[in-house]
Structure formats: structure tokens, C-alpha cells
Structure 1
């Protein structure tokens, strides 16, 4: 596959593909004229890179994972820890969204007169002091 085809199928810009190759995230198999050529398996690797970036891993962290073994055995403990951190963040954001929905629809003119709002406010303050 040439670089244009990989870019079209993966949604990754050719400039990003060249950068990924520079930092050893992917490898081209050669050139056809000036165009880099890639093995079709590069699409799997690009999907893993995208998933890692979405999960919050930096490119250098992803590159380090890829260098661990040639068969791409990912560090399960590190990934499990990141998943746990994402779950904690999701729970925090869901709580924040519930609080904001209540603030937006609270029947009290003054939010401080609302017992539910005050309870949520105290819970939010406690959560911030734990962080």
C-alpha cells in the first residue's frame, strides 16, 4: 500500500505517517518512486496508535510499548491502570454533569436555598480536597 492509500484508509494524514515512521511507531517496506510503501498490517498498528492516543498515552509512551516486543505484546498492567484512571475520570465527569443539570433546572431562585445543591456542593468540595 502506498502512503496515500494508507492515509485514506486510516484517516491519518501523510505528514503524520511520515512523523510516525520517524519516531519508529510504524515502518515503511520501501518506496515506489518517492512514495513510501507500507504493509497492510500498518492499518492495525495505526488503529492501536489512535486508541492509545485517545486513552491519553503520549506518542513516546506508545512507541515504548511497541518496542517491547516485535509481536506487539502490550503492557497489560499499564493499560489496566490507564483504564482505571479513565473510569475514575468518567465517574467524576458524570457527577459534574448531574450537578450542572441540577443547577440549570433548580427551582430555587437562590441556589444556596436548595438543599440538594448544597449537598452536591459539599460533596464536590470534599472530592477536591482528596485530589
Structure 2
């Protein structure tokens, strides 16, 4: 068994995060030693899976649904495919933003307002805001 301080140190998560995860049922502390929560070493694997899910943009509720009643991993592949589609869209959007910023930074026009490419970007922004 590992106490909460050891789990926090080895996982890189704050003890408050571990307590919150326990409060919402993502992880479980089977016992206490004094006032300190104790965890099985296998909690580190679950915390790694939770961290991966968070990095992928999954909510804690979505992550919790990836574990069955026995706390075994049961991945929702359809949800992951949906998330990859969302990430692809974000990548395209970020690439467009990066390209626009680079163009603005390197535009040879004296005034950006005279640049046809800059005007095109501004028109695109107006459409997106409408």
C-alpha cells in the first residue's frame, strides 16, 4: 500500500487532485493509516489513464465511463474516434491561425490594411463571428 503523499509524488498530481478524484469516484482508497489515505500501487496505472484522457480532452465523466463496474478499463472506441475528429479540426484551425500570424509578421506591404491576404483573413473572421 502507498499513502497519498507517495501516490502524489509518483503520479505528479497534487494530493487535493487525488482527494477530488476519490470524491467523484474515479479512484478509491481502500484504507487509511491514521488520517492518511492508502492506495494500492495499481492506482498509478489508473491515474496515468486519467491523465491521458485529460490530455486528449476527455471530461472526467467521460473518463469515468471508460471503467466498468469492476474498475477494469472498458474503452469507448466510438467516443475516441469522435475525439480524434475534433482534434483534427482543432489542428486545422491552429494551422490556419499559425499561417495567418506568420503572414502578418512577414507581409511586405507597408500597411496590413492594403494587403489582399490580410483583407481576406479579416473577411473570414467576420464570417466566423456572424
What TM bracket, shorter-length normalisation? 0.7 to 0.9
Q: TM-score, normalised by structure 2?
A: 0.84
Residue 48 of structure 2 is matched in structure 1 by 47
- Partner SS for 1:66: coil
Between the aligned partners of 2:115 and 2:32, the Cα distance in structure 1 is: 68
Q: Distance in 2 between matches of 1:69 and 1:34?
A: 26
Over the residues paired in the alignment, what is the CA RMSD in angstroms? 2.3
Match of 2:60 in 1: 59
CA distance, structure 1, for counterparts of residue 53 and residue 69 of structure 2: 15
Q: Tell me, yes or no, if the aligned pair for 1:23 and 1:63 is still in contact at 8 Å.
A: no
Q: Equivalent residue for 1:83?
A: 84
Q: Unmatched 5+ residue regions in structure 2?
A: none
Structure with more of its chain in helix, by fraction: 1
Q: Which residue of 2 aligns with 1:27?
A: 28
- Provide structure 1 residue ranges, at least 5 long, that are not aligned to the other structure: none
Q: How many residues align?
A: 129
